[in-house]
Amino acid sequence: MMNVLLLGATGMVGQSVLRECLLDPAITQVYTWGRSPVSVTHAKLHSFVQKDLTNLDPLQDVLPEIDACFFCLGVSSAGMNEEQYRAVTYDLTMQFARELVRLQPNLTFLYVTGASTDSTEQGRVMWARVKGKTENELLKLPFKAAYMFRPGGIIPKNGVRSKTGWVQAIYTVTRPLFPLLEKAFPNSITTSVQIGRAMINAARHGYPQPIVEVKDIRKLADA
């Protein structure tokens, strides 16, 4: 049985994780933490709305009961320079994670990054460097366990939608190709259901390695 904390519940990955958590009978309580409320209701769902995501005071009473944190919050780097992207992707994530581990170190922290993240922090692709630094610093924190999820292409299922208009437009146009793409690129593409199930199973059972690539996501989804 697990109680979980979820950030980014209104994004595409967050929606996927939230849906699977609410369906999973072994997850007893789901706490969402974000700047806007979620659009669903459920008996085991508790939505916290907080502008300053690094101020965890409203969670003080529930944090001791949290077994896993699913950090699905993120933004596209499109139109951003490195300083702007780092402020959201690295600075905010690390401020939150450092405060969380101070208050509740005995939990599993699962962070959604992306395929091709640069663990060396030295590559030419800006977003990959920033994501790589974020991964590396998260793995240094004294959580019970931490896993960095690197999904590639994501096929949305069960009504899951992207908040980004142009991304959702692409999904709408390419929807007839989803079954073909899923079969043709098994090591590059996962479904929203697989990501949700994989994150839950990693939190519940662990995984032999902290970096979780697409092939690992598919394996974990069936665990």
pLDDT tens by residue, the chain, 223 residues: 999 999 999 888 999 999 999 999 999 999 999 999 898 999 999 999 999 999 999 999 999 999 999 999 988 888 899 999 999 999 999 999 999 999 999 999 999 999 999 999 999 999 999 999 999 999 999 999 999 999 988 888 777 766 666 665 666 666 666 667 777 677 788 888 999 999 999 999 999 999 999 999 999 999 7
Q: What pLDDT score does 166 carry?
A: 60
Q: What pLDDT score does 2 carry?
A: 97
H-type alpha helices, 24-151: 82-86, 93-103, 126-138
Alpha carbon separation from 183 to 177, 193, 219 (Å, rounded): 10, 16, 15
Nearest to 2 by CA among 198, 15, 22, 16: 22
Q: What pLDDT score does 8 carry?
A: 94
CA-based radius of gyration for the chain? 17
Q: What is the pTM of this model?
A: 0.91
Q: What pLDDT score does 162 carry?
A: 64
Q: What pLDDT score does 170 carry?
A: 66
Would you say 100 and 69 are in contact if contact means Cβ atoms under 8 Å apart?
Answer: yes
Q: What pLDDT score does 159 carry?
A: 72
Name the E strands within 103-210: 108-112, 145-149, 153-155, 189-191
Q: What pLDDT score does 188 carry?
A: 80
Name the E strands within the chain: 2-7, 27-34, 45-49, 68-71, 108-112, 145-149, 153-155, 189-191, 211-212
Would you say 72 and 11 are in contact if contact means Cβ atoms under 8 Å apart?
Answer: yes
The Cα 136–Cα 143 span in angstroms is 13
Q: What pLDDT score does 185 carry?
A: 72
Q: What pLDDT score does 42 carry?
A: 96
